[in-house]
Amino acid sequence: MARNVSQADASVKAGEWQRSKYVGVSLVGKTLVVLGFGKVGSEVARRAKGLGMHVIAHDPYAPADRAHAIGVELVSFDEAISTADFISLHMPLTPSTAKMLNEETFAKMKKGVRIVNVARGGVIDEEALVKALDAGIVAQAALDVFTVEPPPKDSKLVQHERVTVTPHLGASTVEAQEGVAIEIAEAVVGALKGELAATAVNAPMVPAEVLNELKPYVELAEKLSRLSVQLVAGGSGVKSVKVGYASSRAPDDLDTRVLRAMIIKGLIEPISSTFVNLVNADFTAKQRGLRITEERIILDGSPESPLESIQVQIANVESKFASAISESGEISLEGRVKDGIPHLTKVGSFDVDVSLEGNIILCRQVDQPGIIGKVGSILGDENVNVSFMSVGRISRRIYAIMAIGVDDLPSSEALKKIGETPAIEEFVFLKLL
């Protein structure tokens, strides 16, 4: 657009040679305003800086640090449009962006501004743009998208001498089409494997950076619920599950939808053939009559990490492992993320600490010397590797809870031997692998 390439090309092909008519403008040193600083907008900004442009952006939802990282300042809409030599549009078409450029906003722009729209047609009031072009406010426009596509043949905008048009070609390169195909195939494979379907259109939209931050907590949530459902004694149906999130973040700064979905996945998958993912989790829970209630425990302190701990409680059930029942009567497990790895940190009312990387053995034993050694040698004789072990007790020499993480699957004889060890009053083997 700035060098009149398309107009000059048409003119040479028509047999003309008009050099002075098609003198263009330089980009270097000009101010480019990027409206909508998302995936496309931020890449446009990065490249425009490489062309020597001064780039500022307006996006009410973009994080300022992401803009600063590429040397772009986020400014108000009015400041943006009134200082721009070029405006490039990269926001979605929503009720609040529809006709965002209109008669009133064109009036605030610098005379001679140039406008590029490769976002969506409806974000510009096309009639107002024709007027602004005729009034000399807008020197040129380059449009890839239109309110109605294809636009009517006699559209004044399309026919305008200072407007360059293309038929919605923004994403039309061989590489981009191949990239899109690969991305879709990978997302489908991931969804079929039960992974987080982050780009599904019928799933809650969770931005990639939020997903990334929550990743270890997502794993923790799923593992805690996978363990807790295995603690339920046969015959007592799981109907009501309470999830507690302890966090220093403000409630609306913590999106728990993914965590809830993974809790549901952990509860349902061990006991059914259904694959649960972000799309079907709430529906699957409802279908099975499973009620999930979420509770926020607001902590003081730095909101640096999204969560301090997650608690999963299953109410109105008996447990295979009585010590997993908390004082208030539910099966209760609590976990935390330590160095990026999920840990089980509480069983019933007992503090433990075992990393959730393998399978888990929980024992309740009389608190006396020698038990750890006995259980350790039973596992050692079987070549079962212990990854973590912790003992939590309520009072000395009364009884204690031992949590053992094992990398392998102990044989049923080994488990039987552990159960028969004198002083071990109850024990349970919980599978995570």
Ligand X SMILES: NC(=O)C1=CN([C@@H]2O[C@H](COP(=O)(O)OP(=O)(O)OC[C@H]3O[C@@H](n4cnc5c(N)ncnc54)[C@H](O)[C@@H]3O)[C@@H](O)[C@H]2O)C=CC1
Catalytic residues: 120, 149, 168
Q: Count residues near ligand HPV (CB under 6 A).
A: 3
Give the interface segment with ligand HPV, choosing from 166-174, 224-232, 316-324, 326-334 (CB under 6 A): 166-174
Indicate the SS3 state at residue 139.
Answer: strand
Give the interface segment with ligand HPV, choosing from 19-27, 122-130, 170-178, 344-352 (CB under 6 A): 170-178
Euclidean distance between CA atoms 107 and 54, whole angstroms: 22
Closest residue to ligand HPV, judged by C-beta, is 171
- What minimum distance in Å lies between the beta carbon of 283 and ligand X? 26
Alpha carbon 48 to chain centroid distance?
A: 28
Q: Does 171 bind ligand HPV (CB under 6 A)?
A: yes
- Interacting residues toward ligand X by CB under 6 A: 35-41, 58-62, 90-92, 96-97, 118-120, 144-145, 168, 170-171
- What minimum distance in Å lies between the beta carbon of 172 and ligand HPV? 5
- How is residue 135 written in tokens? 């009034």
- What minimum distance in Å lies between the beta carbon of 186 and ligand HPV? 17
Q: Residue 213 or 425: which CB sits closer to ligand X?
A: 213
Alpha carbon 320 to chain centroid distance?
A: 36
- What minimum distance in Å lies between the beta carbon of 160 and ligand X? 20
Q: Is the peptide bond before 150 cis (omega within 30 degrees of 0)?
A: yes
- Residue 254 to residues 206, 281, 305, 345, Cα–Cα distance (Å): 11, 19, 10, 22
Q: Residue 34 or 133: which CB sits closer to ligand HPV?
A: 34
Give the interface segment with ligand HPV, choosing from 60-68, 164-172, 292-300, 350-358 (CB under 6 A): 164-172
Which position among 172, 328, 368, 385 is part of the footprint of ligand HPV (CB under 6 A)? Answer: 172
DSSP per-residue letters across 366-416: ES-TTHHHHHHHHHHHTTPPEEEEEEEESSTTSEEEEEEEESS---HHHHH
How many of the other CB atoms lie within 10 Å of CB of 224?
Answer: 26
Q: Residue 98 or 315: which CB sits closer to ligand HPV?
A: 98
Indicate which of ligand HPV, ligand X, none lies near residue 416 (CB less than 5 to 8 Å, by partner kind).
none
Q: Residue 105 or 280: which CB sits closer to ligand X?
A: 105
Euclidean distance between CA atoms 2 and 27, whole angstroms: 8
- What minimum distance in Å lies between the beta carbon of 171 and ligand HPV? 4
What's the residue count for the chain?
Answer: 433
Torsion angles phi and psi, residue 85, rounded to 5: -90, -35
Q: Residue 170 or 329: which CB sits closer to ligand HPV?
A: 170
Residue spans of beta strands (DSSP E) within 101-158: 113-117, 138-143
Closest residue to ligand X, judged by C-beta, is 38
* CA triple 10-15-19, angle to 5 deg: 70
How many of the other CB atoms lie within 10 Å of CB of 98?
Answer: 14
- What minimum distance in Å lies between the beta carbon of 274 and ligand HPV? 33
Q: Residue 164 or 387: which CB sits closer to ligand HPV?
A: 164
- Read off the DSSP letter of residue 17: -
- What minimum distance in Å lies between the beta carbon of 35 and ligand HPV? 16
HSE-up of residue 151 (Cα within 13 Å, Cβ side)? 20
- The residues, ordered by sequence, that sit 6+ positions from 292 with a Cβ below 8 Å of its Cβ are 241, 242, 243, 260, 263, 264, 285
| Element (DSSP H or E) covering residue 240 | strand 240-247
Which position among 71, 170, 303, 370 is part of the footprint of ligand HPV (CB under 6 A)? Answer: 170
Q: Residue 66 or 393: which CB sits closer to ligand X?
A: 66
- How is residue 176 written in tokens? 């981009």
Which residues are at the interface with ligand HPV (CB under 6 A)?
170-172
